Amino acid sequence: MPKKLKNITKARIHKELQSFDIQINEFGEVNHTLSIDELNAFLNHNVQDKKLLEHPKYMELQQKLS
């Protein structure tokens, strides 16, 4: 049996994700506090898609949304 970790520290996270917590239970199921739709909305708003940066219409769309 592996040793248990004594000090579990939380990573620095964005202030909008302070309430987000994710755990894997003994059955291998993923439990989280935010819905997947809320997490995807946050990622869409704060992270640029590297694949779309090369697309010619991407910059036009970004300018319209700004």
pTM over 0.85: no
**Which of 10, 15, 12, 11 has its CA nearest to residue 42?**
15
Domain assignments of the chain as residue spans, ordered by start:
22-65
Q: What is the mean pLDDT of residues 33-55?
A: 84
* pLDDT tens-digit series, residues 5-28: 677 777 788 888 888 888 999 999
Q: Say if residue 38's pLDDT is above 80.
A: yes
CA–CA distance, 24 with 31 (Å, rounded to integer): 6
User: Which phi and psi angles does 10 have, rounded to 5°?
Assistant: -90, 145
Tokens read off for 27: 């059955």
Contact yes or no for 6/14 (Cβ under 8 A): no
